Amino acid sequence: MKHLHLIPTGTTLDFVGKRIIFFVFSTLLVISSITFFTTNGLNYGIDFKGGIMMEVRSNTGPADIGDFRNKLSNLGLGEVSIQEFGQPEEVLIRIQRQEGDEKAQQRAVAAVKDVLKDTVEYRRTEFVGPKVSEELFTDGLLAVTLAIGAILVYIWFRFEWQFGMTAVIALVHDVLSTIGIFAVLGMEFNLSTVAAVLTIAGYSINDTVVVFDRVRENLRKYKKMDLVELLNMSVNDTLSRTVMTSFTTLIALFALYILGGEVIRGFSFAMIWGIVIGTYSSICLAVPILTYFNMRRSDDEEESNVEKVEGEGTV
């Protein structure tokens, strides 16, 4: 039986030898992400900034977005965002939070219904207040921070502290670059995006652990091999598995992005970017950083002494 190999068996690519190039690229990527985040900010969804969200379906065929915009722009409700939502007949209306209490938000919803009348079917109306949106943002940030901290502890106990530090560096790189791409493109950043970031963290660390397992195995097996050569061998040993897993996952994600509709498009995009950047960081960032740590070769001297004593006992 023939097996599909995206990466030929016996590949010997010099990832660790080109680590300076990868480090420069990653540093520029992170700096750019932080810069765009601080200057442009994120296009926070209604989950994080509060407001009114209405999902409607046109009763007269494909929705005329321009007509919707003309009707709602004269209501004096502030910022109003209108976009097609999945099918051509479906429209998502976002309205900024109105000054005042809940009754002010209800008046805004009533004003929209008075203008659109019976031309649409009202499928969903949601309101997120400022207190709730602030709590959601804080909880989302806390979830990402705790996830990274838990991963650091897990890798530290499973391997050694050097592996834990490099894994977290790669993970922070993935999270910051994902936030940066959303800041650059102006895509909506909401709770589903936070869920995507957490999923990316899990996927990225899974890839990293697979490579680290092979590194640890080779450290025990080849005690005299040059560290750069050993790390390169470890990456190449797991390269086919890593690329195949990422490739098959991306096929499903592209299908979701293209066919899943607007409701999960942001989540799908974040996942696609995260898989690509997570695979890159596992191969080109996490492992090469290990060259700057003093990697222990599993008590070489003790094992050598044991073998020497056993050898003398057999004479």
- Based on the fold, state whether residues 138 and 106 are members of the same structural domain: no
- Based on the fold, state whether residues 29 and 71 are members of the same structural domain: no
- Based on the fold, state whether residues 107 and 253 are members of the same structural domain: no
Which of these ranges, 28-32, 95-99, 114-118, 292-296, has the smallest mean pLDDT? 292-296
Nearest-angstrom CA–CA distance, 15 and 236: 9
pTM for this entry: 0.72
DSSP letter at 101 equals S
Asked if the structure places residue 11 within a domain, the reply is no
pLDDT over 80 (residue 195): yes
Asked if the structure places residue 5 within a domain, the reply is no
User: Within a 10 A sphere around the Cβ of 9, how many other Cβ atoms?
Assistant: 8
Q: What is the pLDDT of residue 272?
A: 92
Residue 71, domain extent: 51-128
Average pLDDT for 119-137: 75
Q: What is the pLDDT of residue 167?
A: 85
Q: What is the pLDDT of residue 130?
A: 61
Do 155 and 209 meet the contact criterion of CB atoms below 8 Å apart? yes
pLDDT over 80 (residue 198): yes
Average pLDDT for 155-162: 78
- Based on the fold, state whether residues 113 and 255 are members of the same structural domain: no
pLDDT over 60 (residue 298): no
pLDDT over 80 (residue 305): no
Average pLDDT for 194-207: 83
Binned at pLDDT 50, 70 and 90, residue 208 comes out as confident
- Based on the fold, state whether residues 111 and 257 are members of the same structural domain: no
Query: Tens digits of per-residue pLDDT, 71-103?
Result: 887 777 777 777 777 777 888 888 877 776 777
Helix ranges restricted to H, the chain? 19-39, 46-49, 65-73, 102-116, 130-158, 161-185, 191-221, 227-259, 265-281, 287-289, 300-313
pLDDT over 70 (residue 173): yes
- Based on the fold, state whether residues 114 and 261 are members of the same structural domain: no
- Based on the fold, state whether residues 168 and 95 are members of the same structural domain: no
Residue 280's nearest CA partner among 225, 254, 243 is 243
Q: What is the pLDDT of residue 307?
A: 44
Binned at pLDDT 50, 70 and 90, residue 306 comes out as very low
Average pLDDT for 217-223: 83
- Based on the fold, state whether residues 101 and 25 are members of the same structural domain: no
Asked if the structure places residue 310 within a domain, the reply is no
Q: What is the pLDDT of residue 132?
A: 63
Average pLDDT for 263-289: 87
Asked if the structure places residue 7 within a domain, the reply is no
Residue 210's nearest CA partner among 138, 282, 268 is 282
Do 208 and 167 meet the contact criterion of CB atoms below 8 Å apart? yes
Asked if the structure places residue 308 within a domain, the reply is no
- Based on the fold, state whether residues 89 and 156 are members of the same structural domain: no
The total domain count for the chain is: 2
pLDDT over 50 (residue 313): no
Asked if the structure places residue 313 within a domain, the reply is no
Higher pLDDT, 191 or 39: 39
**CATH number for the domain that contains residue 95:** 3.30.70.3400
Query: Tens digits of per-residue pLDDT, 1-37?
Result: 455 556 656 667 788 888 899 999 999 999 999 999 8
Asked if the structure places residue 8 within a domain, the reply is no
Average pLDDT for 66-73: 80
Q: Could you say which of 77, 100, 128 is where a domain stops?
A: 128
**CATH number for the domain that contains residue 291:** 1.20.1640.10
- Based on the fold, state whether residues 83 and 225 are members of the same structural domain: no
3-state secondary structure of 52: strand
- Based on the fold, state whether residues 138 and 243 are members of the same structural domain: yes
Residue 63's nearest CA partner among 82, 38, 40 is 82
